[in-house]
Amino acid sequence: MKKLFLLPLAAILTLASCDTKDPDDTTNYDSFTKGVFVVHEGNFQAGNASLSFFNKYNDTMSNGVFTSVNSIPLGDVGQSMVTIGDLGFIVVNNSGKIEVVNLEDLSSKGTITGLSSPRYICVVTNTKAYVSDLFSGVITIFDPQTLATSGTIAVTGQIEEMVKTSSGVIAAGTGANQVYKINTLNNTLMDSVNVGVGPSNVVMDANGKIWIMTNGGWGTEAQKLVCINPVNMDIEISLDFTLADYPSSLKTNAAGTALYWANGGVFKMDVATTSIPTTAFISTAAYKVNADPETDMIYVSDAGDFNSNGHVYRYTAAGAAVDTFEVGVIPGEFTFTP
């Protein structure tokens, strides 16, 4: 009887101990401000692009979050995403638009339209960003605050990824086999260098050097991994993959001291190394890869048969598997909140 009497008290104490939330804590744990977005390409012309969000507060993955919040589909071919302040910019390639959302609740802030085949955004300042494009022959300039486009930079052919450096923006000119350097003050091309056929991925390492991965013209030549100095655009390292390799998704670790890419599995190369590793760092079906700049955790996407829900695998920086989440159709780029 005495024990029975103690039960409600124990329950109250247990419940109280579960609620460890600081009463002064105003953090919205359900917001989209601390986590990882997974941009899903979906199938070309199928309109099943989507957005997932991995919430770092509670380690949960939520799928289709853009549609859940805004009650409309994201669009056709989700390409990439960046965050600028409290806004998220989702590039939807075949819909020719950028969906802009509030990161607090993911509600729609607006849509930037009039783009041809947008691919990636490079944030220059809080009031200026560039959007690359596959087909328009221009890089479009827009203001992330007003969402208004303010001009274009004429280029030759397709432009893929871009990265901002202290001496300008470096852009991968896939169509013209050139890596461009753009003066961000007057939005003009300053310089260019030929690094091989089809430069696509660009990242900056801890030393401020730019690493570029080419696509080889889809079989025209072996793909290359090239390091250039963004100041003088000199090629410092140029490494060839074999013709049997089809690497993609070049990224850096949090410190910028190592490169990751997907080529069947996940490959890792120290930036001080001058030879391409031949064995995978993580053996898994990898479509895209990226590393969390805060925790260095490695995120890998597996697109399965490219017509069904894919998976995201998480690994420690040492390559140990952590967990797996089912996500949407063709999980592509990972975007980490600041």
Partner 1 sequence: MKNIGLCLVFIAVSAICFAQVSDSLVYPEVTVTEQRIEEAIGSSVSETDTLLYKLLQSKGLTQVLETESFISTRSYNPGGTAVFSVRGSGPQHTQVVWDGIPINDPMLGQTDLSTVSLSGVSGVRVLYGGAGLTNNSGGIGGTIELLSTKPRTEDGVDVKLNGYAGSFGTYGVSLLLRDRYKKLFGSTSIEYQTSRNNFKFRNLATIAQEDKMLEHALVKRIGFTKSLGLNINQRNTLSATVYYSQVSKELPPSMLMVASIETLFDRDIWASLKWRRIGKKSVITATAAYIYGNQQYFDQNEYTFHHLYQANKNLVRYKLDLGYNLHFEAGGDAFNEHARSDSSYRSQPHWRFWQAAFASLKYVPKKWVAAQVLVREDVIDGTFSPFQGLVGVEVKPTKWFSIKGNVARNFRAATLDDLYWVPGGNRDLKNETGFSWEGGLAFKTGIKTFRFGFDATYFQSEIDNWIIWLPQGNVWTPQNKRAVSSKGIETKLEASVTTGKLLFKLNGAYTWVSSKVTEGATANDASVGNQLIYVPLHQAKAHFSVHFAKLFLLYGHQFTGLRYTTSDNKSSLPAYQISYVTLGYEYTLKKHTMGINFTVDNLFNIAYQTIAWRPMPGRSFLINLSYQFN
Which residue in 6, 12, 13, 72 binds partner 1 (CB under 8 A)?
72
Between residues 10 and 72, which has the closer beta carbon with respect to partner 1? 72
Task: Enumerate residues 6+ apart whose C-beta is below 8 A from 203.
Answer: 163, 210, 211, 250, 251, 252, 259
Between residues 108 and 165, which has the closer beta carbon with respect to partner 1? 108
Which residue in 183, 187, 248, 295 binds partner 1 (CB under 8 A)?
248
- Other C-beta atoms closer than 10 Å to the C-beta of 244 total 7
Residue 230 token pair? 């963004």
Minimum distance of partner 1 from residue 302's CB (angstroms): 8
Minimum distance of partner 1 from residue 14's CB (angstroms): 38
Which residue in 208, 219, 293, 338 binds partner 1 (CB under 8 A)?
219
Minimum distance of partner 1 from residue 256's CB (angstroms): 24
Instruction: Report strand pairing: 298-302 vs 309-315.
Output: antiparallel
Which residue in 95, 140, 184, 290 binds partner 1 (CB under 8 A)?
95
Asked if 290 is part of the footprint of partner 1 (rule: CB under 8 A), the reply reads no
Asked if 73 is part of the footprint of partner 1 (rule: CB under 8 A), the reply reads yes
Tokens 């391409």 belong to which residue? Answer: 276
Minimum distance of partner 1 from residue 84's CB (angstroms): 22
User: Burial level of 304, CB count in 10 A (0-12/13-18/19+)?
Assistant: middle
Give one DSSP letter per residue of 127-183, joined into a string. Answer: TEEEEEESSSSEEEEE-TTT--EEEEEE-SS----EEEETTEEEEEETTTTEEEEEE
Between residues 37 and 267, which has the closer beta carbon with respect to partner 1? 267
Determine the interface stretch with partner 1 among 4-12, 131-139, 163-171, 251-259 (rule: CB under 8 A): 131-139
Which residue in 31, 33, 48, 178 binds partner 1 (CB under 8 A)?
48
Task: Enumerate residues 6+ apart whose C-beta is below 8 A from 274.
Answer: 237, 239
Query: Measured between alpha carbons, how far is 151 from 141 in angstroms, rounded to an integer?
Result: 5
Which residue in 71, 186, 242, 275 binds partner 1 (CB under 8 A)?
71
Determine the interface stretch with partner 1 among 114-122, 180-188, 269-277, 292-300 (rule: CB under 8 A): 114-122
User: What one-letter code names the amino acid at 10?
Assistant: A
Asked if 112 is part of the footprint of partner 1 (rule: CB under 8 A), the reply reads no
Asked if 106 is part of the footprint of partner 1 (rule: CB under 8 A), the reply reads no
User: Burial level of 166, CB count in 10 A (0-12/13-18/19+)?
Assistant: exposed
Asked if 183 is part of the footprint of partner 1 (rule: CB under 8 A), the reply reads no
Query: Measured between alpha carbons, how far is 164 from 235 in angstroms, rounded to an integer?
Result: 18
Contacts to partner 1 from residues 1-40, by CB under 8 A? none
Asked if 180 is part of the footprint of partner 1 (rule: CB under 8 A), the reply reads no
Query: Measured between alpha carbons, how far is 172 from 223 in angstroms, rounded to an integer?
Result: 14
Instruction: Report strand pairing: 128-133 vs 138-142.
Output: antiparallel
Greatest Cα pair distance in the chain: 85
Which residue in 70, 149, 187, 229 binds partner 1 (CB under 8 A)?
70
Binding region for partner 1 (CB under 8 A) = 43, 45-48, 70-73, 75-76, 92, 94-97, 108, 113-114, 116-117, 134-137, 157, 175, 215, 218-219, 223, 245-248, 262-264, 285, 287, 302-309, 311, 329
